[in-house]
Structure 1
Amino acid sequence: MDEKKIETIFEQEKVAKVITCPQAFAIAEKHGIPKTAISGYCNTHGIKIRACQLGCFK
């Protein structure tokens, strides 16, 4: 997955330092991005995922 695409989407969605799990799921579905790509981007860029459902994001 293109990191630049996720970066642009996060800027549009106003995600900076924290994202909730439901937000991450919605962004993934809306833009056709695998949840693992969202998780990887967040881990790499120090973005915390809060209110995680089922431990899908680490």
Structure 2
Amino acid sequence: MNSKSDMTLEEIFAEEGITNEIYCEKAFEIAEKYGLKKLDITRHCNKNNVKIRKCQLGCFK
């Protein structure tokens, strides 16, 4: 298996079992766990039609 720093967001989402939606809290956890920027996770979600749910900032429903 790749080290955490070598994994792509596609690989990370697959490992975490994320397919078509993610809770905001989980996105924050992934950012911390893998040393990623939250904005990069958001961009990946937008590009791949992954819905962000239960936004902690009230941006997404």
Identity %: 48
- Determine whether 1:53 maps to 2:59: no
- Mapping 1:18-33, distance limit 5 Å: 18-33=21-36
Residue type of the alignment partner of 2:19:
A
List per-residue Cα deviations over 1:16-44 (Å, max 9, x = no partner): 00000000000000000000000000000
Normalized against structure 1, the TM-score is what?
A: 0.86
Inter-partner Cα distance in structure 1 for 2:20 and 2:53: 11
Whose Rg is larger? 2
Bigger relative contact order (CA 8 A; separation at least 6): 1
Question: Taking structure 1 as reference, are residues 18 and 45 closer, same or farther at Cα in structure 2, changes over 3 Å only?
Answer: same
- Across the aligned residues of Structure 1 and Structure 2, the Cα RMSD in angstroms comes to 1.6
Unaligned residue ranges in structure 2 (runs of 5+): 1-6
| Map of 2:3 onto structure 1 | none
> 4+ residue stretches of structure 1 with deviation over 4 A?
none
Unaligned residue ranges in structure 1 (runs of 5+): none
